[in-house]
Amino acid sequence: MFKKTGIFFLFIFFLSFVACSSRTGSEPRFFRFIDNLDKNNIIISPLTKVQRDSPEFEDLFPIESYPLLDYGSGNNPYGIKRKLKLKGREVNALYCPPRSVISYRITPRKNLSLDFGIAITRNNSLDKPPENGALAKRGVTFLVKLEADGKRQNIFQKHMQPPKDGESFVFQLFTIDLPGRHEELNILFETQGDNSHHSFWVNPLYFQKQEEDLNIILISIDTLRADHLGCYGYKRETSPHIDALAADGVTFLNTYASSPWTLPSHVSLLTSLHGVNHQVSYEYDSMDPSMLTLADILRANQFYCAALTGGGFVSAKFGFSKGFNSYSDEGGVLRQDSAEHLYHAAKRWLEREKDKSFFLFLHTFQPHSPYACPYPYKTMFLEENPRWRHLDLMSFMGGMKGIFQELTETDRQNIIGLYDGEIRYTDEKLIGPLITALKDAGLYDRTMIIFTSDHGEEFFEHHGWGHGHSLYDESLKVPLIIKFPESRFNGRRIHDIVSLVDIFPTVLEETGIDFSALDIDGQSLFPLIKEKEKGDRMFLADVASNVLASRIPQKIAMNREKKKLILSKRLGPEDISFFICPPPVLSPVELYDLALDPEEQQNIADEQPQLANHIIQKINEIYKAAQKKKTGKLEMDEELKKQLKALGYIR
């Protein structure tokens, strides 16, 4: 997909520079020291004495890190630029073992602030601490110095002790106002002291405080069906705060995900590529590092990019941290109150970063099974004396083997009630408070808020439960609400079919970033919003064979206007015997008229073979044209396995 010639990359970054200039003027108001590091900035570093092409080169670096490869980060002299793993978080950092001195020349202006973190991680190559005197003399001293008019002064000094037994790192954040009275300043970052542990400057940058610049928040509520929200016509009051957001923005009533499960759908969301083009299809796949992400583009255009996620299949381990300054997996997937936990994390983040132009990606698994949110929400939509007040659906079903079991209608309504309670809890404990916090901070009117989901959930509408195995609308149709700055276009409701891959270019158009040279699958939604385009767009969705050991063959879905086609490979005898209850017998070709048959009950493929063949031919053309990606193969650690077990994905 994305062209890999050096000329093309230079062209992309030239476009980014032009876009930056148009947003910020001749002097950058946001300067990442990491991106601008080259050999001339490195005054002293132990790493300069090591041959980079030696077999032992990477052994010098902490195992909790790997080289920073994000677009826009520039060259990486001596491997100093790192992605550093701090428990459930990945951050950009400069590896500066004592003694290191890095110097930058900047032009000071009014209201400049210096923002950075300092961190020490344990040196796992040491069997015991060095015998170099008292404990107080161990550790690293971090210093920030200013040099102007021939004089040098310390503006920051902090001695940090190494991690205690049982800890893997220590980490702190700081913000310092910079003087604006000099024509030029040299800023020096220095580390001194004990070199038996690894020391880092985390995300060092300076920024000019903003009061008018655009901010972007992308919210993904995992496993959220569009038709279970009030603004989409649902009868229950599951979503008063989401409905209010919809009234303040544009609601897209027919939005399709690219996949019925979390990992590939989120890759599509953040790259604007259909599954056939990003090729992250299985639970052990990770993203090709050459693919551009939304965070890559925004980061290159002076947005501070951060993510607070639920982990699991949105973990940084799958490559999602690319382009983000900070990417957190600590969203509380093992907690019943994960949505509220996410709100508090987001509020703390906003309080610290509100003076920057930012892109914040928020994700929670809250509506996902297990359905076990706190009272009173878990019983809010249940009848008297329900069989379940909380339920791990996949565990109850026996995993993927049991997804085709039929339950009584009473039990089915019990499960739906639990799911709806999860939505109401998320609405009241995440969305409502977040909007209030944005308004209180003066950010709401200048923030673009995108509210969506990665896929839906099945409640036996087509004889199956959960998600990840079929491509009917209950799995693929998701909410999409976009609240623009100053609530432009508020109250508009778009009936045309769109796709999650359309979010990426819509954000770029709103920010004024030229994306015409990017080879992506999505299209900006502005022509539909401004009524310059009418009609349904094509969506493409698929699920690979035997995902999560499901024994379900590959399926592909595509539409032409409101006619939706689903292709399914046939189940073999061994596949059928895998299930506790046999799966429904499906035609290999299904065609539904969504305008007349929104519940997808009448297969009209035999009645309209010409249309079905036309869509199949289009699918074949797209799959034949797809270029092979270098997806990685992930080895799951115990923490990730624990999260995926909690979500019912593995047993």
Assigned domain for 187 exists = yes
Provide the 10 A C-beta neighbour count for residue 216.
21
Could you give the 3-state DSSP secondary structure of residue 7?
helix
Cis peptide before 553 (omega within 30 of 0): no
| 638 pLDDT tier (thresholds 50, 70, 90) | confident
Same domain, yes or no: 403 and 492: yes
Assigned domain for 130 exists = yes
Same domain, yes or no: 370 and 498: yes
Same domain, yes or no: 185 and 317: no
The whole-number average pLDDT for the span 144-153 is: 90
Tokens of 470: 């079929």
Distance CA 89, CA 156 (A): 25
Assigned domain for 13 exists = no
Would you state the pLDDT for residue 47?
92
Taking CA atoms, 535 is separated from 531, 561, 610, in Å, by 10, 7, 21
CB 281 within 8 A of CB 264: yes
Distance CA 199, CA 163 (A): 11
Same domain, yes or no: 193 and 280: no
Distance CA 92, CA 484 (A): 30
Would you state the pLDDT for residue 185?
87
Same domain, yes or no: 333 and 246: yes
In tens, the pLDDT along 355-372 reads 999 999 999 999 999 999
Total-model pTM: 0.93
Tokens of 377: 């929400």
| 4 pLDDT tier (thresholds 50, 70, 90) | very low
Same domain, yes or no: 259 and 196: no
Question: What single letter denotes the amino acid at residue 451?
Answer: F
- Supply the CATH number for residue 245's domain: 3.40.720.10
Q: What's the total number of domains in the chain?
A: 2
CB 194 within 8 A of CB 399: no
Handedness of CA 518, 523, 524, 527 (dihedral sign): positive
Closest CA to 501 of 554, 557, 540, 559: 540
Could you give the 3-state DSSP secondary structure of residue 623?
helix
Assigned domain for 595 exists = yes
Distance CA 320, CA 325 (A): 12
Residue 438 has pLDDT above 90, yes or no: yes
Taking CA atoms, 402 is separated from 339, 389, 395, in Å, by 28, 21, 9
Same domain, yes or no: 283 and 166: no
- Tell me which of 150, 182, 208 is where a domain ends: 208
Cα angle 45-48-49, degrees, rounded to a multiple of 5: 110
The whole-number average pLDDT for the span 256-273 is: 98
347: burial class by Cβ within 10 Å (0-12, 13-18, 19+)? middle
Residue 216 has pLDDT above 90, yes or no: yes
CB 198 within 8 A of CB 62: yes
In sequence order, what E strands does 312-429 have?
Answer: 326-328, 358-364
Assigned domain for 397 exists = yes
Assigned domain for 651 exists = no
Same domain, yes or no: 408 and 324: yes
Assigned domain for 23 exists = no
Could you give the 3-state DSSP secondary structure of residue 156?
strand
Distance CA 387, CA 19 (A): 57
- Supply the CATH number for residue 118's domain: 2.60.120
CB 256 within 8 A of CB 250: no
- Tell me which of 172, 189, 208 is where a domain ends: 208
The whole-number average pLDDT for the span 192-204 is: 91
Determine the structural domain holding residue 174 and report its residue range. 30-208
Question: Within a 13 Å sphere around the CA of 514, how many CA atoms are in the beta-carbon half?
Answer: 14
Same domain, yes or no: 255 and 155: no
Tokens of 136: 């107080």
Residue 20 has pLDDT above 70, yes or no: no
Residue 193 has pLDDT above 50, yes or no: yes
Same domain, yes or no: 420 and 468: yes
- Tell me which of 208, 224, 250 is where a domain ends: 208
Beta partners for 364? 221
| 19 pLDDT tier (thresholds 50, 70, 90) | very low
Could you give the 3-state DSSP secondary structure of residue 171?
strand
In tens, the pLDDT along 305-353 reads 999 999 999 999 999 999 999 999 986 677 889 999 999 999 999 999 9
Same domain, yes or no: 322 and 202: no
Same domain, yes or no: 148 and 280: no
Q: With left for phi above 0 and alpha for psi between -120 and 50, is residue 210 left, alpha or beta? A: beta
Residue 124 has pLDDT above 70, yes or no: no
Taking CA atoms, 276 is separated from 363, 469, 571, in Å, by 24, 17, 22
Taking CA atoms, 344 is separated from 116, 348, 365, 434, in Å, by 22, 6, 15, 9
| 632 pLDDT tier (thresholds 50, 70, 90) | confident
CB 361 within 8 A of CB 306: yes
Assigned domain for 4 exists = no
Tokens of 426: 């998320």
Separation of first and last alpha carbons in the chain: 36
Could you give the 3-state DSSP secondary structure of residue 594?
coil
| 580 pLDDT tier (thresholds 50, 70, 90) | very high
Would you state the pLDDT for residue 125?
58
Taking CA atoms, 551 is separated from 111, 263, 416, in Å, by 59, 18, 26
